[in-house]
Structure 1
Amino acid sequence: MDGGNPSSSYKDLHRPQSEFNSREEYLENELKIMSPKRWRPNLPFRDYRFEFEDLVPGLAATIGKIVMVAAVAGAFAVPLGLDSSFVIENARFEMLIAAVLFVLLINGFFNPTANLPGTHGPLIPLIPLIVAAGGHPMAFGIMVGVLGFILGVSKGGSLLAKLTSKGVCGGLLLYLGFIGITSQIKALYAWADGFGAGYVAFVIIFATIIMYAYLEHVRLRWLAIPVGSCLAAVIAFALGAPFEFVTEPGIPNLNPAYWWGEDTGWKLGLPDVSHFLAVAPFAILAVAMWSPDFLGHKVFQELNYPKGSDRVLMKIDDTMMVAGARQVVGTALGGGNLTSSWGTYMVPAAIAKRPIPAGAILTGVLCVVAALWGYPMDLAVWPPVLRVALLVGVFVPLLEAGMQMTREGKTSQSAAVVIFSSAMVNPAFGWSLTMLLDNLGLIGDKEEKKDLSHMHRWIIPGIVFVLLTGILAGIGQIPGIPAFF
């Protein structure tokens, strides 16, 4: 079904579902006729509509947000000697910041082609190292936000994405998907073994596989996160897994002075110059990892959206600007989140064939409800719910997308190298090295790079690789090389 003249308004081009042969046809037509306005008001029913399918990314994103923000806060809290009550309180505060100041206003109304600002999951393992190096959460958050905003304004994010071929991106998705799946399964077994019932984890994982395969068969895979989370919770309850609600309804402390006080909140006070110097290499690494992360989410849209829907695809540079601004504001107010593109929103939204704005508004509302209600925080961070949500909502879809992008022989060369080099050090190293080799023409599809200049093909990838490798060596992430930062 033709989307119509793109110069016409969405309201004029919209047609009821009854005029289409299937629900999928209707949803694909909606993607084709939308013309989102950049940094101008986009209003419901005039520029987009709410559909039942928007509830799925909304629920998935809310569950994912609670999980990821709590994980980041917890990673900071343990080496700083802060308790679990701090983690829940800070996570609730961060959800209000993200929902009210950014998701509802920016993604829902003023720039619906910027993906929601989520959480930088791959950085979580580095947080204890940041604290051990003398890093301060406020210094780190502000530096990441400023660097990310600069990269977005200068359009550096889209340039790095352009230099990352399908083979490199596909290999990166395969690696991250496989590593994520194995880590979540191990964590679920460790939780079950903790109360002497390892079989609970086996039953949950087995049921999740059957559930995911069935949803794939009936073309309802976009329901995987809410259905999978509910299934995991029901099975865990039925088999006697321990659980209790402890977080009561209420408003978290909204005073930045409390969070950055000497004896309250983080109990660290304000950072000084030495703290900014300590976090500098980590901040550069964090922002360098944004491009492949953002590109992977955009590619996931491209794989699931129909032809002719380019206008609703996320813009990488705008997403970086929003993420950078959200990082600075959230950190200054007292939050501990590390921002990136919101994967647990974009992946199910792309599968459900829905654009960003309507689901963003629902996500913002659900995040506010969860933060104020309190009890959903306990359920969402319960291991069976948390692990299954990440498995079916992020890591398995990443694996599938990576497989789709590496079907051809030439792209599989780059994919193999990026997996190899990522396993040797980490995904940032693997991405930068393989991007350089790919653009030099040593591996990969040369046709993808025929329109690039020498500056783009050789110099920029070379600078990125040398810079990232130097940072990784400086913070002790290159095996066998002691840290010198």
Structure 2
Amino acid sequence: MSQPNNQSYRDQRKPRRDFDSRAAYLEHELSIMSPKRWRLNLPFRDYSFELEDLVPALAATIGKIVMVAAVVAAFAGPLGLSDAFVVENVRFEMLIAAVLFVILFSGLINPTANLAGTHGPMIPLIPLIVASGGHPLALGLLVGLFGLLLSVSKGGSKLMALTSDGVRGGLLIYLGAVGLFSQIKALTAWANGLDMGYVAFAVILSTIIMYALLARLEMRWLSIPLGSGIAFVIAIALGAPFEFVTEPGMPHLSPSYWWGENTGWQMGWPELHHFISVAPFAVLAVAMWSPDFMGHRVFQELNYPKKATKVLMNVDDTMGIASVRQAVGSVLGGGNLASSWGTYMIPAAIAKRPIPAGAILTGIMCIIAALWGYPMDLAVWAPVLRVALIVGVFMPLLEAGMQMTRNTTSSQSAGIVVFASAFVNPVFGWSMTMLLDNLGLIGDKERGKTLRRTDRWVIPGVTFVILLAIMAAVGMLPGIPALITAE
């Protein structure tokens, strides 16, 4: 029976012994929460900490180290910056994220906004951004501006509402499958590079068995720490080389250091031409947010009880916080590109936990990792990293997509999304299939008839045309030379 609306979270809490199972207890916790938007939410008064919160926090910390390192390294390579620069900037970025945003916003002020993470799909475009005369600060400021405009106009939630289950499911299947294959390939290549291919085989085989058993026991929320731990033990036991090299320390905190002419990025402050050159990439980065954010909220919808609507991720608020985090982080000197934090949200949803408690633990772990140094080496070691991403992100994406495409109409839309995404990229696949689906040309033909003209073809059509033009400009369409090229 549902609780009276005037009762507080603390009044409605019940001890674990009152429930038949741990899952029932966690679902009750989700159902009685009523987070206050843009107001102070306190631990133990508005939410509690559970053992399950440690899992997404650990997964998020590992993911943060890895993804920010990938982004900063993608900038540093073409700019001729050293590995030491990359490590220091990553540590600085983790402190920015943890202290200013993860704990403050997602943990205390707006618990329905997901943590602001890293924009992985933009990584392959970074060398082109640099070659086109781009500046990391100019890019960060424009991404923050465009993202804030999308958040204020509630464009993110509108696009999510116009995307059917079939289109969402197909997008998740594509992202999950491609990510899964890439991680297996990367782990195998790492092992073969050491002439120890058997290490990759043993790690992957043990991961498959572990994941299957956890799925059988309905304990998949344990897959990241358990899988990473098993991978570490097996790889070490088989003789794979590993050592700690990042020592404890504090990174530079001054923006003047990071944006100096001869220090930090060694680029100085951006000028007008820098903003012009990165504008198309900034628009594309923000356009990529909608399918990314949508995929993360789907995991909550699939794993939370139906009545726990008050704790579902608010897409527009998440975009707003990611935008502010992007602009502030860039001004301070960080090289991260912000997005919704998938390595946190996906395991948190599977573990049936709300955002705030795990967010605070994530912030604490990120601070510890940044200052201590040694955990960064462990998180980026290939067996630990690849297994964490496989079981914590890509396998759940694949499974969620399959759950959403069980009937003929949804599977038809899903198939077109996969086809179009493989042809160009997921942004192209999502935007084109959303248009075709809403027009009733594929998928549920009756659904299109219930939509207003604006929702049926104007918004999807304009979205597709704008994204198509931007992708043509930066050379993302197969066989079509980029309209914007490096001089």
TM-score tier by shorter-chain length is over 0.9
Structure 2: gaps spanning 5 or more residues: none
Deviation at 1:125, TM superposition (A): 1.1
- State the partner residue of 2:324: 325
Deviation at 1:209, TM superposition (A): 0.7
Q: Does 1:290 align with 2:289?
A: yes
Secondary structure in 1 matching 2:222? helix
The alignment-based identity, stated in percent, is 69
Structure 1 counterpart of 2:225, which letter? P
Is the contact between residue 225 and residue 393 of structure 1 (CA under 8 Å) also seen in structure 2?
Answer: yes
Distance 1:206 1:81 in 2: 39
Q: TM-score, normalised by structure 2?
A: 0.98
- State the partner residue of 1:49: 48
- State the partner residue of 1:269: 268
Distance 1:405 1:80 in 2: 43
Is the contact between residue 422 and residue 428 of structure 1 (CA under 8 Å) also seen in structure 2?
Answer: yes
Distance 2:87 2:5 in 1: 46
The CA deviation string for residues 63-122 of structure 1, in whole angstroms up to 9 with x for no partner, is: 111111111111111111112111111111000000000111111111000000001111
- 1:17-166 alignment runs, 5 A limit: 17-166=16-165
Structure 2 counterpart of 1:399, which letter? L
- State the partner residue of 2:399: 400
Distance 1:25 1:243 in 2: 42
Q: TM-score, normalised by structure 1?
A: 0.98
Distance 2:403 2:213 in 1: 20
Secondary structure in 1 matching 2:274? helix
Deviation at 1:456, TM superposition (A): 1.3
The CA deviation string for residues 236-278 of structure 1, in whole angstroms up to 9 with x for no partner, is: 1111111111111011111111111111111111111111111
Is the contact between residue 294 and residue 341 of structure 1 (CA under 8 Å) also seen in structure 2?
Answer: yes
The CA deviation string for residues 184-214 of structure 1, in whole angstroms up to 9 with x for no partner, is: 1111111111111111111111111111111
Is the contact between residue 440 and residue 447 of structure 2 (CA under 8 Å) also seen in structure 1?
Answer: no
Is the contact between residue 3 and residue 29 of structure 1 (CA under 8 Å) also seen in structure 2?
Answer: no
Distance 2:479 2:160 in 1: 31
Structure 2 counterpart of 1:147, which letter? F
Is the contact between residue 411 and residue 444 of structure 1 (CA under 8 Å) also seen in structure 2?
Answer: yes
Structure 2 counterpart of 1:279, which letter? V
Deviation at 1:47, TM superposition (A): 0.6
Q: Does 1:7 align with 2:2?
A: no
Distance 1:311-1:447 versus aligned 2 partners, 3 A rule: farther
The CA deviation string for residues 25-48 of structure 1, in whole angstroms up to 9 with x for no partner, is: 110000000000000011111111
- 1:39-438 alignment runs, 5 A limit: 39-438=38-437
- State the partner residue of 1:465: 464
Secondary structure in 1 matching 2:442? coil
Distance 2:289 2:192 in 1: 35
The number of aligned residues is 484
Moved more, 346-355 or 188-197: 188-197
Distance 1:184 1:272 in 2: 39
Distance 2:223 2:127 in 1: 32
Structure 1: gaps spanning 5 or more residues: none
Deviation at 1:361, TM superposition (A): 0.6
Q: Does 1:483 align with 2:467?
A: no
Distance 1:132 1:202 in 2: 38
Distance 1:206 1:84 in 2: 33
Distance 2:277 2:4 in 1: 54
Deviation at 1:450, TM superposition (A): 4.8
Is the contact between residue 438 and residue 447 of structure 2 (CA under 8 Å) also seen in structure 1?
Answer: no
The CA deviation string for residues 146-193 of structure 1, in whole angstroms up to 9 with x for no partner, is: 111110111011001111111111100000111101111111111111
Distance 2:445 2:52 in 1: 40
Distance 2:43 2:448 in 1: 40
Distance 2:433 2:221 in 1: 32
Is the contact between residue 440 and residue 449 of structure 2 (CA under 8 Å) also seen in structure 1?
Answer: no
Distance 1:9-1:446 versus aligned 2 partners, 3 A rule: farther
Secondary structure in 1 matching 2:362? helix
Distance 1:206 1:295 in 2: 31
Is the contact between residue 141 and residue 327 of structure 1 (CA under 8 Å) also seen in structure 2?
Answer: yes
Deviation at 1:447, TM superposition (A): 4.5
Moved more, 426-435 or 77-86: 77-86
Deviation at 1:466, TM superposition (A): 0.5
Distance 2:223 2:239 in 1: 24
Distance 2:47 2:333 in 1: 34
Is the contact between residue 440 and residue 446 of structure 2 (CA under 8 Å) also seen in structure 1?
Answer: no
Secondary structure in 2 matching 1:341? coil
Secondary structure in 2 matching 1:232? helix
Is the contact between residue 6 and residue 35 of structure 1 (CA under 8 Å) also seen in structure 2?
Answer: no
Distance 2:99 2:211 in 1: 33
Distance 2:49 2:336 in 1: 29
Structure 1 counterpart of 2:311, which letter? V
Distance 1:449 1:392 in 2: 36
Deviation at 1:448, TM superposition (A): 4.2
Distance 1:426-1:100 versus aligned 2 partners, 3 A rule: same
